[in-house]
Amino acid sequence: MPDLAEAERILHARVGPAVRVGFPIAPLTTFRLGGPAALFVDAQGDEELAAVREAADATDIPVAVIGKGSNMLVSDDGFPGIVVRLGRGFRWAGRDGDRLSAGGAMPLPAMAGVAMRHRLSGLEFGVAIPASLGGAVKMNAGAHGRSMSDVVDRMEVFPLTGSGPRRSLASSEAGFAYRRSQLPDDSIVVGATVRLQPGTDDEIRAHMEEARRWRRRTQPLAEPNCGSVFKNPDGDHAARLIESAGAKGLRVGGARVSEKHANFIVAETGATASDVWELIQQVRARVEHHAGIRLETEVERMGAVGDADD
């Protein structure tokens, strides 16, 4: 049986000030939904990550990682284990020729801005993705026809269970595919290097501004949401399928399919994670009935949200 008290003892003994008990994580997500983490660790370096690993291995308590919280739905009951987030110690950036390296906590839009200041092109699409670098790499985030797999050269991965130090992996070892990778679930991306190419200020800035305008024009930025809910099936778009199935504006409780973009679900005042997940199921059922296509979610669930096979 997982031993929460023992995990708390181990963490306090090793990295006391970095540990929080019953920590609210809804404010760390863009949905602003969900219950607390039983234990929360704000990791400033590998020492805190090693402490999380020790506590998890000694007690069998589950571990989850949160970055910018932009693609996450947290259970209304919270998470019954350790939630770890990379802190300021993992927010840095540096350049070496046409390569730009950064810590896993670096926001992707900020990293795109660093690339622009160095007149490096290829990461402009990142300005439209509200994710941390680590999360973006692990999920192979993308926009405007580009994905992280197009630019990532290497990544630093720290295992949160088992043993061993952080490892440096080449992009070819990540198993990148559409909106996913084969990086282990029980690991955290603590840094990455992207390979870019020289560009001009005007060209890079223009591409970034177009990405920003597109996001403002097409997405419900003023309302809590988690970004795209469903992956686009081959040769089609989830938003088109949802709208064709008559699900635009559909609601369950305080959760509603956005009228601005059908592949977004927004959370109104009083919404719960259960509302959102039930709405996801209803939308998926409508599309499957209408088009014969079962949409696959992009949303990462933390805690007991729906069934494991959903």
Residues serving a catalytic function are: 179, 228, 298
CA gap 51, 54 in Å, rounded? 5
DSSP state of 88: G
Distances (CA, A) of 109 to 113, 114, 208, 286: 6, 9, 10, 35
* Beta-sheet pairing, 167-170 with 152-159: antiparallel
DSSP state of 225: B
Tokens of 93: 């950036």
What residues have CB less than 8 Å from 172, skipping those under 6 apart? none
Q: Order the strands of the 99-103 sheet from edge to edge.
A: 93-96, 99-103, 187-195, 152-159, 167-170
Positive or negative torsion for Cα 209, 212, 217, 218: positive
